[in-house]
Amino acid sequence: MANVGVYSQSLHSETFKNSIKSHHNMARLRKSVSYRRIERPYTRISKYKEQSFVRANPNSRIVGFETGTPQKTYKYTLKLVSKTDLQIRDNALESAKQTSNKLLETTLGTTNYHMKLKPYPHHILRENPIAAGAGADRFSTGMQKSFGKPHGNAAQVRKGTTVFQVSVNKENIDTAKTALTRASKKLPNSYLIQITENKLK
């Protein structure tokens, strides 16, 4: 029993500064509304250090941009089009892609559709961490050096831009519509679905 008491006491013997750091590291992902507005991208990456606005380029969470069978020709193309200008983070794009692709793959099979993610997350998001809690003003710098550190990527999407594109034949249009609707639920803001008929040679 004595050993248990020593162990529990050692768990609570951290300093206040370490507790602030651990609280910051365990912070959850911020809501998309924090990054939805399109901002001027001071995020240039250059091989010359003095010409780089940011010193790091976070890895993109998007695994692939195309699924299905792109080699085939399809009669119809459905597009998920944005209604407004906004920024979409790479984790939201990947989540939307996986949700819609799972439905298409299980319903149609991999040989009866072609889905493509159009925008690329070039924009690098920055965050200026501010410590919270009692006495946190001793550790945070406020607006001094507030440019922030890179911590993620986002795609800058304009009004009327196609986010996802699905090509199918006539009998699979309803399934493609459902897949794009599911994808839109994973993305911020609102979208519309456009259907166009491809002219086959």
Both tokens of residue 4? Answer: 């248990």
Is 132 within the bounds of a domain? no
CATH of the domain at 114: 3.90.1170.10
Both tokens of residue 46? Answer: 């250059």
Is 163 within the bounds of a domain? yes
pLDDT tens sequence across 147-157: 778 888 999 99
DSSP, collapsed to helix, strand or coil, labels residue 3 as helix
Is 24 within the bounds of a domain? no
Both tokens of residue 82? Answer: 């944005």
pLDDT at position 174 over 70: yes
Summarize the confidence of residues 161-177 as an average pLDDT.
96
Q: Look at the block and give the residue holding tokens 């149609």.
A: 108
Q: Which amino acid is at 47?
A: K
Candidate from 16-30, 48-62, 118-132 with smallest mean pLDDT: 16-30
Is 12 within the bounds of a domain? no
Domain count, the chain: 1
Is 40 within the bounds of a domain? yes
State pTM to two decimals. 0.76
Residue 138 pLDDT level (bands cut at 50, 70, 90): low
Q: What is the pLDDT of residue 183?
A: 96
- Identify the domain containing residue 61 by its residue range: 35-125+149-197
Question: CA of 77: how far to CAs of 118, 167, 175, 186, in Å?
Answer: 14, 4, 12, 21
Both tokens of residue 148? Answer: 């922030």
Is 27 within the bounds of a domain? no
**Closest CA relative to residue 181, chosen from 69, 118, 103:** 103
pLDDT tens sequence across 47-91: 887 888 787 788 889 999 999 999 999 999 999 999 999 999 999
Is 53 within the bounds of a domain? yes
Residue 125 pLDDT level (bands cut at 50, 70, 90): confident
Cα(81)–Cα(83) distance, rounded to whole angstroms? 7
10 Å CB burial of residue 37 (0-12, 13-18, 19+) is: exposed
- Looking only at the bridges linking them, the beta strands covering 123-127 and 149-157 are antiparallel
Q: What is the pLDDT of residue 18?
A: 46
Is 52 within the bounds of a domain? yes
Q: What is the pLDDT of residue 167?
A: 96
